[in-house]
Structure 1
Amino acid sequence: MTDVSEQAPAYAGLGQRRNLAILFADLSESTRLAESVEAEHYALMLAELRALYHQVVPKHGGQVIRIQGDGMLAIFGHPEAREDDGRRAVESALELHEAVRRMRPPAGWMQSLNLHSGIHAGLVLMHEGDEVRGRFELLGNAPNIAARLSDAARAGEILVSEETLGLHGHFFSMSERQSLQLRGRAAPLAAFAVTGRAAIGRRFEASVQRGLTPFIGRERELARLDAALDEALAARPHWLSLRAGAGVGKTRLTEEFLRRAAGRQCQVHRGYCEAYLSAEPLQPFLQMLAALTDMPEVRQASELPPKARLQALLEVLAAQALKVPQLLFIDDLQWADDATLQLLHRLMALAQQRALPLMLLTATRPRAPGDVIPVASDSEAAVLELHPFSDEEATQAVQQLLPRTDPFVAVEVQRHAGGNALFIEELCHALANEASGSAATPRRSNETQQPGNAWLSALVESRMSRLDAEHKAVLRAAAVIGNVIPAWLLQRLTGRGADDPAVLALAEQDFVFPDQRAGHLRFKHGITRDIVYEAIGLHERQQMHRRIAAELRANEAQVAAHELLAYHDGAAGDWANAFEHAQQAGDQALAVPSLDRAKKQYRAALAALEHLAGDDHYRLRWISVAYRFGMACVFDASRADLRVLQHAAELARGSEDAALIARAEYWLGYVSYALGEARDGLPHCERGLAAAERIADAGLVAQLRGTLGQLRAAAADYAPALTLLDEAILVQREQARRPGRLAVGLAYSLACRAQVLGDQGRFADAQVEFDEAMSLIRGSNHAVEASVQGWRAAVYLWQGRWTEAQAAAAEAHRIGGLVRSLFTFSMGHAAGAYGAWMAQLDPEALLKLQDATTWLAPRGGGLFSSLNHGWLAEVLEAHERPMAARRHVAQALRRGRRHDDWFGVAMACRAAARLALPHEASISARYLALARAAAQRRGAGHDLALTDLCEAEIAIARGQAATRWLDAAEGRFEQLDMAWHLAKARELRAKA
């Protein structure tokens, strides 16, 4: 065992990774300028410009790395990382631009001088430089992007990427968000043109502008603040220090408290401290008093020397407290100057001496080991520690910021943010902008991911830079192990266990803390772990991953999961082992089942296999994994999955092996079916069936016939569908007799047959099929159980048995969540909502239907999505929202016209017919005809009966006779045992 903190890495000469803000600046029109003036005059101008570069950049904490001609490259964040390095780069650019505009142009040049600049932040690999490369050589994408932004900037313009500034952008006036396609970059880059400095002084105000994290929970903390204010109002002065790490929500909590306090009989003052050039002594108090400029004593105090000013300010505040109770709030006290801290103590002492009604509220961050504590600190204050959101609170915050996002992605946001309100806000903001290509979606995996906000990386790195070398070494080792850290493994790598002071110090600094599982630690925030990990050099990371994999294999007392070994082997570049373990991890996840984990592991196996492409068995192994991948996709398909299966089919065709071709075409057809693309899936399954028949594989023939039956059923070709399903069921019943196997295929075939029978109005027969299917899988919590329950819910809805439909839909929704099948999860949610709407006009039904449909939209909508559009069209029509209803009518009709899905078409057309009332009789008639045609195509008696009822409703609304339609509707309802609808028809007849 070796202590990693004592190692001298052999790869140190390869440079170090740093998160830097990079500024490129160039003189605009410099070529034409050089041609237009005398060389001596140009040289003098150039010398003055270069002097400005060297004067201005260091003032803002940056370093000039290289000057070439009239252009300059500067970095911010080395040797010390600061959370505001992006801001410093922009401030530097603004000052440079202003100074260059004031320069006297060379003789012979009649225009003013201007710079154009680009700023971008990100990870770079830094090497010592030379005369050619500058003080440092910077390798990576970040310098290139900054240079491209500078090239794209117009004369006098400063272009800065969105991820560089984040919420620090509130310090500046900026253009609208631009999406720039930079040369050499595939995806557009979100950027802004900085036009000047803004009046906003606090991050909270920027959050309000962009979309504030919802105020959730914090009841205990609010009660403590209210109690402190009660004490102060009773002339018992109180100082409360609110302490928490960056982003946990100090300012959000205080703003909520101050909003409530404003309604009480007290005067509220606000101020903040900052650690930048614009900071000045007594800054927060001067900000407070700036709002009291109508008071002569305030104007007089502001003109006094510093020492006298302090005493004068003290008297002003004390005098104010005699008139009305005072509440003073100071944010970011960790950056306060000594004078501010002295005034706080003297003000509190004076308030206590005179029994003044005054409350001091300060917000600050915890101190790190080694921090120099000022002589005057907030040590006299009562401390209120603010903790990150609980899981429930974090979930609420994500749901409010991203109300329509995929719920499984929302879970990943919560996991990645770890309860930190700022991280939740930033990840949700990134996801909201994902369509522009500027966001980074949290991954459902153990993979690392560099967050899309370089300023967040700077925030974390600035905290990390305050740790000593020992703590940093432990933190880096923990980051390489993963988000969850077995304590024994950390001990093996670093010589420091869970109770070691170095590890405990990381918990105090909000990095790593004990997990719920004994013997494990975990990163409090997944974002923090990713940033620390990415800051470790590639070769160092790989060496550590190799050591971790070796420890996992060697320690017999620890059963290493395949998933963990696959991750570390892959990160170490051991592709053969990574492939084997990822494949086995996928098999384990599929058996549980956990579909998203299975798909992720199979994708990892295929990625590892690409590094072994020269292997003779490459083709067979690739297709074998793709088969397993297809099994995971059936209940949770997305369009991205098709690319894997299409490649497998291409490899199979190249082999001319009928068995490989049959299975590859089978899975490609099946996943097309799962995506709701019946027309596209049919030819694949037909080719697969022909190949399976050539090799006389009875089991595969039965599978393919069953899938063809499902595809025919989806396209409403019921006669051939039933024939094919019956043939498949006959073989699958024989196979189901084998012990130890869950009869997944048979259960789903029976459910599909039940769906056809139910759509044809043979409800009793359909329930018999459902009962048999459920007898095979009930209680398994397998994805197929969710599918069967989802179809059962749909058939109950067709019959009007709302209570049973909601119960079945709830099971589909529950199991879909367990197995991480977004499709069954969403469809169960939607079917239950429609049942609740029909049963009791549930006011939440519309929102639930919209959510479920939105969740599936990025994947193409999925199997039978016309049902969602039909349900939504009907409910929106009832809510008198015609434009929205018509959009869903169009979506349902589009599904039918592709011959992929007819189930919701008639329902959508009936909603459109009702929307045409009362003056558009021809349009109404056309939609009713379409509804009837869609129902007749399927032989759907329930839809024909509902269309008759709709004809009757429209006729009555126009004052026309409806007896014919009511007679037809009642007859069908009675025949089909649709009791609820029959009662509605009779009520309508009575009213008519």
Structure 2
Amino acid sequence: MAGIAEWLASIGLGEYAERFRENAIDLSVVRDLTEQDLKDLGVLLGHRRKMLRAIVELQREVLRTPQAGAKPASTDHAGRRQLTIMFCDLVGSSALAARLDLEDLRAVMGTYHRCIAEVVARNEGVIARYMGDGVLAYFGYPQAHEDDAEQATRAGLALVDAVASLRTEPATELQVRVGIATGMVVVGDLTGEGSAQEQTVIGETPNLAARLQTFANPGTVLISESTHRLTDGHFEFRNLGPVALKGWAEPMPAWQVLGTTEVESRFEAQHKSRLAPPIGRDEEIEMLLRRWQHARRSEGCAVMLTGEPGIGKSHIALALEERLQGEPHITVRQFCSAHHTNSALYPFTRQLERAARFERGDPPAEKFAKLEALLVRADADRVLLPLANLLSLPPSNRYRMPELSPQKRKELTLAAFLSQLTGLAARQPVFVIVEDVHWADPTSLELLTMTLEHLPRLRGLLLITARPEFTPPWPGHAHVTTISLTRLNRRNGAALIERVTAGKTLPEEVMDQILARTDGVPLFVEELTKTVLETGLLNEQDDHYVLNRPLPPMAIPTSLHASLMARLDRLAPVREVAQIGAVVGREFSYELLSTVAGLSKERLEEALAQLVRSELIFCRGEIPQAIYTFKHALVRDAAYSGLLKSRRAALHAAIAGAFEQRFPDLVETQPETLAHHLTEAGLFQKAEAYWLQAGKKAAMRSANLEAIAHLQRGIEASGHLPEGAGKDKLELAFHFALGPCLIATQGPASNKAMATFARARELCERLGDPPEQLQVMFWLTTASVMRGELPVAEETIAALLQLAEARDDLPALLNAMRGQAMIRLFMGQLTGAHEAIGRAYEAFEASSEDDRLAARSAGQDAGVADLALMSWALWLLGQPDTAIVRMDAAIRRADAISHPHSQAYACYYACILHALRGEFLVAQGHAERCIALSEEHGFRQWRLARALRGICVASLDPSPSALGEIGAVLDGYRSAGYQLAITALDVLLCPPLLNSHDYEAALELIEHGLATANRNSERILEAELYRLKARVLVARGGPAVEAEAQALLDRALSTGRSQHARTLELRAATDQAALWIHQGRREEALNFLAPIYASFTEGFETHDLKVAKVLLDGLR
């Protein structure tokens, strides 16, 4: 109903409209008029009866519809949103009803309801329902605000005071109790028809608010945990701990609100502890410091910091204030408010009240005295009296307030503020902060304009913060600088995350998702990181976190939800277009939107234009080729989360249909897009084919991380299909495609890979030996190898070879032959390994390209792996030159087929080979390339190359930092369950420790390697471990050390000979000869070393043979 005139006209009494207006009677008052009131207004008797009946009907309507604030249009759909709900109840209403006459009770209740309506409306709330003595109010609907929870809490406190101070006839003391809760609800037109329809809220939040109210003592306000989280810092609380509430199985945390704090900055309220310096803002702060130094010495100046919400404007202002603490100055802080955009001089009056230390409940005279004390140095007529008048404070008898016109009074008031600032600057340099000037009222902007003009004559810096949409009303000034804050880059965003986690590292996929969804906005980064830490998704382990379950899409933090929804609600008429776009994704095209929106061309284009003007979305190109992008991922999420699930599903289905019918090229190139919309629409059967297609396409491009995401979505969707062989075949296809991607990115021994292999084996057993079975067996065998279970793996690989041969499955045979060779190699069975690798490579060279591609499901190319393993075997067997030829061939093949995982595999094996040969510069080059490939493609298992790079650096120039990196990488490798090739790293790390004289660490490393060799049968470098232990003991010195070293060298020699590891035998023999030379047994040394050296037919320019030759030449 538009107003009092319309209501009077609707009941046929429009002739009284002017009389009602003259007496300031509107719809909020008319419900409380009595017959005597109407008589006093001169309403005729018959009309009074008619009007009283209409007032009764109006009262009934009040009980059915929201009364304070705007009611959403009837065309609004139900939606999901975060809401703060307040439940207020009148204490002792039953006793009141028994004591008062009915008409007196009606008058008291009317006064009570009017009071509540006024307080709720003043705090941007909406009365949802009057329920006798109870009142239900919403904060955040139909219009969200950035501080709905704070406004609700302020309203609760105000209600307690306002109701207690009500003057009623007859005189009655009233008290209320208030409960407030915040949470996600569904809100919309859900009950009733026509005028009786209510905006009903569904969810536990209103029930929680009501239960908290019943638990509250008279005259108190209780809030829920979620409301406390959003308002902490703005209010003083008493923690009541968990309280038992009817309807809740577990006690719920509750807080009693005691009062407000002095903090006005929302940023400060959210950061109550000492602030850390802003990350990535050094240049801006240095510039502000330069401006301050100039301003305090000579001419005042101003800087305007602009940037979107959460970008760090307040943080920079506080950081600058902190940097100035050691200098003599005066700080003046003023805060504009979104709720006082039409309250004249609000930020300046609030600052004045804070500076004068006004307390709630101070009588006017005491406030005037405090103001007088504050302005004791100022001229009374020019400063004190105008400011007292502004604050509605009557002066004491010593002063006389002159009669002035409103315009003259305003001029004096503005001059008074300016005079006060001038007086402060005359005493000390002044640092003035005016925050959120985009919310400033017109008179405040006028005062700011005057201040800027006057500023060069003062010693001071004026720092103004504003959002990008703010257009300054003042003209350009040479002494005013504008700084536009940009978003944080990835490095600074990661640093901010690390600050929130107190230096503990997050899993990479968690870090990536936080950075992707927060777009470099510091507030978003902080709040989303805090939310992730609170979800229970992560387990804390020493200096890092690990995921305890698959990472779901991250929800919008409660602390950001209201702010994001407020942006959408300000565009309510076109919000639905934004929501449809959000269903498409962060980016959507005009062509697609026009197909599914169901709007006329004109309406759609105007809605999109409005969204672009508001900077909620950006536009690229011209209609109809235009592409739109949400400014923030979280804004898109907020728009999407506001839709009911049923509405989302319908839109996803419509979008999927449009893709299939109108965009077949996109479906071909991006099948995952169609698969996503089909899945969200609940069309799981149809979605499965596209998820599988998307996963395979990504894997073919070596986009393994994307492939994993697509395939896992498909596996999740398959859970909605009916049980049966068809579902099992489909799920197996997904796991079969997923296996190689997990091997490439995380390694076959990772928990995720092992779970995939186990599920695939289970499906194979249920389906009865399908073609995929052999490859699944190979995966499980490879996992056993990587976990160091070599004897077990040796048995399973033999069985797999037999099956592959019996089924004539050449791809499986290629992998099984190589697997057998690899197991033998690491078990130290070098001749058997060399023979097996030779057969495997012959089979590979004879195979077709299709078989080679099929064999690549093991994770890497079979030919590359054969050549790399062959090179290791040849080097150990005493053919160092041929070994390098084979390794170079492996790298060339990996590069020729452009298969990134095979390239990383080859580089890793090449790095270890060259490092074992003492060629650390060459090894370092391979390590760097392996690391680069791993980072580009997400190959986690090959990140062990970082340790190899550290070993190469430490071997060339030992340093504590290099050794520290090696230890951290090795710990991560072992903690992930990997055991294979650890002894190679133990062998390589020992010499740098020996060179840095850290003998105990070197011995500990060798003992670890020997224990691994005994436990896992990984004896490939066992002889080298014995030799190195002897060297460390000799270097450390001590009694009987030579005898112990001799025993170890004997063990190294016998082990090398039994394995036919001629290179390791030569090394042990060289050390043996050196020991004998030291003991004076030169002839024995010559006779022992010479025949071993002579047995070599190649490799005479390698380090090992050069060292042996120098020793022999010295003996001859």
Deviation of 1:652 (Å):
1.1
Match of 1:422 among 523, 537, 550: 523
Asked if residue 540 in structure 1 is aligned to residue 602 in structure 2, the reply is no
Matches of 2:837 and 2:241, distance apart in 1: 54
Root mean square deviation of aligned Cα: 6.6
State whether structure 2 residue 559 is matched by structure 1 residue 475.
no
Q: 8 Å contact 1:273–1:284 — kept in the other structure?
A: no
Q: What is the DSSP-based 3-state SS (H/G/I as helix, E as strand, rest coil) of the residue aligned with 1:449?
A: coil
SS, match of residue 345 in structure 1: helix
Q: Which residue of 2 aligns with 1:801?
A: 919
Give the C-alpha shift of residue 817 in structure 1. Answer: 2.1
- Alpha-carbon distance in structure 2 between the residues aligned to 1:180 and 1:950: 76
* Alignment match, 1:607: 716
CA gap of 1:835–1:284, structure 2 versus 1, over 3 A, is farther
Q: CA deviation at 1:177?
A: 15
> Could you tell me whether the CA contact under 8 Å between 2:1053 and 2:1069 is conserved in 1?
no
CA deviations 1:617-662 (Å, max 9, x no partner) are 2222221221111111111134134333322211211222263432
Following the alignment from structure 1 to structure 2, what is the Cα–Cα distance between the partners of residues 68 and 927? Answer: 93
2:305 corresponding residue in structure 1: 242
2:431 aligned counterpart, secondary structure: strand
The question of whether the paired residues in 2 share the 8 Å contact of 1:242 and 1:384 is answered with yes
Partner residue, 1:574: 683
Give the Å deviation of 1:340. 4.3
Asked if 1 retains the 8 angstrom alpha-carbon contact of 2:185 and 2:201, the reply is no
1:285 corresponds in structure 2 to 351
Do structure 1's residue 524 and structure 2's residue 608 form an aligned pair?
no
Matches within 5 A, 1:651-730: 651-657=763-769, 659-671=771-783, 688-689=800-801, 691-710=803-822, 724-730=836-842
- Secondary structure of the 1:388 match is coil
For the Cα contact (< 8 Å) 2:85–2:206, is it kept in 1? Answer: yes
Aligned partner of 2:863: which letter?
L
Tell me what 1:554 maps to: 661
Q: 1:587 maps to what in 2?
A: 696
For 1:4, the equivalent position in structure 2 comes to none
Contact persistence 2:811–2:851 (CA under 8 A): no
Whether the 8 Å contact between 2:684 and 2:718 is mirrored in structure 1 is: yes
Q: Quick check: 1:417–1:526 contact (8 Å CA) kept in 2?
A: yes
- The correspondence of residues 758-837 of structure 1 with structure 2, limited to 5 A, is 764-778=881-895, 780-824=898-942, 826-837=943-954
Distance in 2, Cα, partners of 1:177 & 1:710: 65
Aligned to 2:390: 306
Residue 666 of structure 2 aligns to a residue whose secondary structure is coil
* C-alpha distance in structure 2 between counterparts of 1:550 and 1:839, whole Å: 62
Per the alignment, residue 356 of structure 1 pairs with 458
**Residues 667 and 235 (structure 1 numbering): CA distance in 2 closer, same or farther, change over 3 Å?**
same
Distance in 2, matches of 1:945 and 1:42, equals 106
SS in 1 for 2:744: coil
Range with bigger deviation, 705-714 or 574-583: 705-714
How far residue 423 of structure 1 moved from its aligned partner, in angstroms, is 1.7
1:107 maps to none
Relative distance call for 1:456 and 1:892 in structure 2 (3 A) is: farther
Match of 1:412 in 2: 513
The match for 1:18 is: 81
The answer to whether the 8 Å contact 1:910/1:928 transfers is: no
For residue 706 of structure 1, report the CA deviation from its aligned partner. 2.5
Q: Which secondary structure state, in structure 1, belongs to the residue aligned with residue 144 of structure 2?
A: coil
Contact 2:335 2:347 in 1 (8 A): no
State the TM-score, normalized to the length of structure 1.
Answer: 0.73
The 5 A counterparts of 1:288-367 are 289=355, 296-298=373-375, 304-306=388-390, 312-336=416-440, 340-351=444-455, 355-367=457-469
- The Cα shift of 1:583 comes to 0.8
Asked if 1 retains the 8 angstrom alpha-carbon contact of 2:149 and 2:230, the reply is no
Identity between Structure 1 and Structure 2 (%)? 20
Query: Structure with the greater relative contact order (CA < 8 A, sep ≥ 6): 1 or 2?
Result: 1
Does the Cα contact within 8 Å between 1:168 and 1:203 map onto a contact in 2? no
Whether 2:597 is the aligned partner of 1:597: answer: no
Paired position in structure 2 for 1:484: 587
In 2, Cα distance between equivalents of 1:319 and 1:348: 16
Residues 392 and 173 of structure 1: is their aligned pair in 2 closer, same or farther, counting only changes over 3 Å? same
Q: Which residue of 2 aligns with 1:8?
A: none
Contact persistence 2:223–2:257 (CA under 8 A):
no
Distance change >3 Å, CA 17–CA 248, structure 1 → 2: same
Which amino acid is the alignment partner of residue 761 of structure 2?
A: A
Q: Which segment is superposed worse, 737-746 or 543-552? A: 737-746
Deviation of the 1:538 alpha carbon: 1.9
Structure 2 residue identity aligned to 1:128: L
* Cα drift, residue 314 of structure 1: 3.2
Equivalent pair of 1:748/1:787 in contact (CA under 8 Å): yes
Other structure's SS at 2:311 match: coil
Q: Deviations over 1:391-425 (max 9, x none)?
A: 56545655776763445554433222112122222
Structure-1 separation of matches of 2:186 and 2:495? 36
Cα distance in 2 for residues equivalent to 1:225 and 1:777: 54
Q: Secondary structure at the match of 2:771?
A: helix
* Unaligned 5+ runs, structure 2: 1-73, 100-104, 166-174, 359-369, 378-383, 392-411, 1112-1116
Alpha-carbon contact 1:243-1:383 (below 8 Å) kept: yes
3-state SS, counterpart of residue 633 of structure 1: helix
Change (3 A) 1:151 1:922: farther
After superposing the two structures, state which structure 1 stretch, 721-730 or 257-266, moved more. Answer: 257-266
**1:79 counterpart SS class:** coil
SS at match of 2:951: helix
Q: 1:618 aligns with which of 713, 727, 739?
A: 727
Matches within 5 A, 1:33-72: none
Distance 1:419 1:613, change over 3 A: same
8 Å CA contact 2:1009–2:1025 kept in 1: the answer is no
Q: Does 1:253 align with 2:307?
A: no
User: Aligned to 1:750, what secondary structure does the other structure show?
Assistant: helix
Mapped to 1, the partners of 2:672 and 2:238 lie a distance apart of: 46
Mark the CA change 1:614 to 1:122 in structure 2 (over 3 Å): closer, same or farther.
Answer: same
Q: Deviations over 1:31-66 (max 9, x none)?
A: xxxxxx9x979999xx999x9997988776566879
Give the Cα–Cα distance (whole angstroms) in 2 for the partners of residues 652 and 130 of structure 1.
56
Amino acid at match of 2:947: A
Structure 2 residue identity aligned to 1:806: Q
How many Å apart are 1:525 and its aligned residue? 2.5
Q: Measure the CA separation in 1 of the matches of 2:1048 and 2:349.
A: 72
Q: Deviations over 1:776-825 (max 9, x none)?
A: 1126251121122122222333333221121101111111122222222x
Query: Which residues of structure 1 form unaligned runs of 5+?
Result: 1-10, 31-36, 103-112, 956-960, 988-992
| CA displacement 1:358-405 (0-9 Å, x = unmatched) | 33211122349xxxx99x899997644323234565456557767634
Cross-structure match for 1:80: 143
Q: Following the alignment from structure 2 to structure 1, what is the Cα–Cα distance between the partners of residues 245 and 687?
A: 36
1:461, CA displacement in angstroms? 0.8
1:665–1:882 CA distance, 2 compared to 1 (3 A): same
| Contact 2:955–2:991, Cα closer than 8 Å, also in 1 | no
Confirm or deny: 8 A CA contact 2:86 2:178 kept in the other structure: no
Taking the aligned partners of 1:784 and 1:117, their CA distance within structure 2 comes to 63
Tell whether the 8 Å contact from 1:487 to 1:498 is kept in structure 2 after alignment.
no
CA offsets per residue over residues 124-154 of structure 1, 9 Å max, x none? 46563589x9976554687799999999999
Deviation per CA, 1:420-452, whole angstroms, max 9, x where unpaired?
A: 12222233444555666599x999xx9993525
- Matches of 1:897 and 1:180 in 2, distance apart? 59
> Following the alignment from structure 1 to structure 2, what is the Cα–Cα distance between the partners of residues 452 and 366?
23
Instruction: Give the deviation of 1:529 after TM superposition.
Output: 1.9
One-letter code of the match for 1:827? L
Cα deviations by residue, 1:463-482 (Å, 9 ceiling, x for unpaired): 11112422x23322221111
Q: Secondary structure at the match of 2:950?
A: helix
The correspondence for 1:511, drawn from 616, 621, 631, is: 616
Q: Distance in 2 between matches of 1:118 and 1:533?
A: 26
